[in-house]
Amino acid sequence: MASAAQPTRDDFAAMLESSLGKNQSFEGRVVRGIVTGLENDLAVIDVGLKSEGRIPLREFAGPDGKADLKIGDEVEVYVDRVENANGEAMLSRDRARREASWDALESQFAAGERVEGIIFGRVKGGFTVDLNGAVAFLPGSQVDIRPVRDVTPLMNLPQPFQILKMDRKRGNIVVSRRSILEESRAEQRSGLILSLAEGQIVDGTVKNITDYGAFVDLGGIDGLLHVTDMSYKRVNHPSEVLNIGDVLRVQIIRINRETQRISLGMKQLEADPWTTATAKYAVDTRHTGRVTNITEYGAFVELEAGIEGLVHVSEMSWVKKNVHPGKIVSTSQEVEVIVLEVDEEKRRISLGLKQAQRNPWEVFAEQYPVGSKIEGEVKNATEFGLFIGLDGEVDGMVHMSDIAWGVTGEQALGRHHKGERVHAVVLEVDIEKERISLGIKQLDSAQAPRTEVSAGGTDLKKNDIVTATVIVARDGGIEVSLGDDGTTTAFIKRGDLSRDRDEQRAERFQPGQKVDAMVTGFEKGRKPMLSIKSLQISEEKEAVAQYGTSDSGATLGNILGAAFNKAREDADKS
């Protein structure tokens, strides 16, 4: 019988290579092994390699901290190395559990499913979570919907999480508890919002206060109570009427079911004061109110709770112009006002502060009629006159031509200075334009020039109408004589020859021609100054006064025509 062939060197090499390849294929894998022994705190595991491995019993411990393990049990372990320096296999139960957990977690992450875990430790920026053997990171911002100061009650309790990010190569898992709560809350909100309706009255708790309003918890869903819907009266900041934790009764104004936003109102539960505002605050009635707000353009005055009116800056003072309203009134000040206008549709009331006091120009006109003598202080000197401070905080103006006789306006202005006390006479009071004209020179009648002159035995006065004879026409006007004897002469300037510019030509007048003119004044030598233009304007004014007005529908031609016809009829009768 032939003997068996002895293995060659090549055969030994092939068997060794096969054995090593088989052993190396175990490394980095989770395999099943059998517990062959229990030595002190170690478990001996056979995974089919040439040597067994030892794993600490604590890696097999359950939630109670005890390892329920006996010889012959089959367990899954992770092969870290086939053989260490002592010839033993390097095995790990924890690593096997983590690998199994990673496989399951990757499947759940891909499917968007929730996972269960236990918060067991704190780290910088968050917490650690055990996901059945795999350790995940829970950021502090992902613990709850709102910031949580104490997480202790949440630790060591199984609860659901949502995986936000996974990286198996780096061993990173990031989870969120907040997303689970938000999802549950969204479901709760959807159910709750379906049970609410616009116009419904509900109770809620103030959760947060902002500059523009307050957020009210309606039992799982928040609504916004805007500052303008808190009260009919002015509310500058919600904290003036609300505090966090207050329980309110509110009305649902609007519901947006798509965005799940709810608008709430408090004032809607009260009677609207504007329903009676028009009747209660009629135009021209006087009321007392409180200044609630001051702006650059005026001041708001509260007439009653929920009813405010605006006093525009132009209606605040008769005499103080172009000043900030804050220099006239102050916040919380009680003031008397007059209603100027009411717009119920726009919920606006225009008020007047100055109208509640008498017009100082009317008061002055009553106390100081034209011709009255007064005394005042020079408040300001301008290039055209002096402003004099008078009673009632009003000012009067002395035109430069009314300061002194016989000197120019500039010379007259130079005689007076700011702060000086002067006497004057009232020449005119224009209440509508708020102007008072004064004169100083009128007090010195001794220096006044004569206002009359004799022409052919007739005394002439200002505004008299005379008939003159043309002597000669010159470039600047015409020279005329007055009276039958022709001893009194005057010169009518080109600009006074007619009110019509085209007719202001001296060459159209011939020597010996008769013209009518008005005496407009006298020169220093008491020579009369005449104007045909002034006469035409005066006649036109008189005709308008007698035969029509600008709003009567009659044209100027109709009016003058009527005047001429009347004059002709009177002449025919005579």
Could you tell me where the beta strands, DSSP code E, fall in 41-114? Answer: 42-46, 53-56, 74-81, 90-92
Confidence band (pLDDT; 50, 70, 90) for 319?
confident
Fill in the amino acid letter for 554: A
Q: Do 262 and 219 share a structural domain?
A: yes
Q: Do 529 and 462 share a structural domain?
A: yes
Of 450 and 478, the structure prediction assigns the larger pLDDT to 478
- Please give the pLDDT value at position 441: 87
Q: What are phi and psi of 436, to 5 degrees?
A: -125, 120
DSSP string, 127-142: EEEEETTEEEEEEGGG
Q: Is 536 exposed, middle or buried (0-12, 13-18, 19+ CB in 10 A)?
A: middle
- Taking residues 149-158, what's their average pLDDT? 88
Return the structure tokens found at 82: 């086939």
Of 90, 113, 136, at which residue does a domain stop?
113
Cα–Cα distance measured from residue 207 to residue 386, given in angstroms and rounded to the nearest whole number:
67
- Please give the pLDDT value at position 240: 87
The CATH number of whichever domain residue 171 belongs to comes to 2.40.50.140
Q: Is 291 inside any structural domain?
A: yes
Could you tell me the residue range of the domain that residue 93 belongs to?
Answer: 25-113
- Please give the pLDDT value at position 548: 56
Of 204 and 75, the structure prediction assigns the larger pLDDT to 204
- Please give the pLDDT value at position 2: 45
Of 196 and 341, the structure prediction assigns the larger pLDDT to 341
Q: Is 189 inside any structural domain?
A: no
Pairing of strands 247-256, 222-226: unpaired
Of 447, 470, 485, at which residue does a domain stop?
447
**pLDDT higher than 90, residue 335:** yes
Give the residue carrying structure tokens 């220099």: 327
Q: Is 1 inside any structural domain?
A: no
Please name the residues in contact with 132: beta carbons below 8 A apart, sequence gap of 6 or more: 97, 101, 104, 116, 117
Write out pLDDT tens, residues 79-110. 877 777 666 777 877 777 777 778 888 888 88
Write out pLDDT tens, residues 54-72. 878 777 776 666 777 778 8
Cα–Cα distance measured from residue 521 to residue 164, given in angstroms and rounded to the nearest whole number:
102
Q: Which of 5-19, 56-70, 466-480 has the highest mean pLDDT?
A: 466-480
Q: Is 573 inside any structural domain?
A: no
Q: Which of 87-91, 118-122, 444-448 has the highest mean pLDDT?
A: 118-122
**pLDDT higher than 60, residue 226:** yes
- Please give the pLDDT value at position 315: 92
Number of domains in the chain: 6
- Please give the pLDDT value at position 546: 67
- Please give the pLDDT value at position 17: 46
- Please give the pLDDT value at position 3: 46
Q: Do 126 and 91 share a structural domain?
A: no
Q: Do 475 and 509 share a structural domain?
A: yes
Return the structure tokens found at 511: 């020597």
Write out pLDDT tens, residues 234-289. 888 999 889 999 999 999 999 887 777 889 999 888 888 888 888 889 999 999 99
- Please give the pLDDT value at position 570: 55
Cα–Cα distance measured from residue 228 to residue 265, given in angstroms and rounded to the nearest whole number:
9
Cα–Cα distance measured from residue 512 to residue 457, given in angstroms and rounded to the nearest whole number:
21
**pLDDT higher than 90, residue 160:** yes
**Cα atoms found within 13 Å of the Cα of residue 222, Cβ hemisphere only:** 12
Q: Do 125 and 85 share a structural domain?
A: no
Q: Do 373 and 394 share a structural domain?
A: yes
**Full 3-state SS string of 339-379:** EEEEECCCCEEEEECHHHCCCHHHHHHHHCCCCCEEEEEEE
Of 124 and 61, the structure prediction assigns the larger pLDDT to 124
Q: Do 263 and 205 share a structural domain?
A: yes
Q: Do 383 and 414 share a structural domain?
A: yes
Cα–Cα distance measured from residue 379 to residue 421, given in angstroms and rounded to the nearest whole number:
10
Confidence band (pLDDT; 50, 70, 90) for 339?
very high
**pLDDT higher than 50, residue 114:** yes
Count the residues in the chain.
574
- Please give the pLDDT value at position 551: 47
- Taking residues 189-206, what's their average pLDDT? 84
**pLDDT higher than 90, residue 481:** no
Contact predicate 177/126, CB 8 Å:
no
Tell me the pTM. Answer: 0.45
Of 57, 84, 113, at which residue does a domain stop?
113
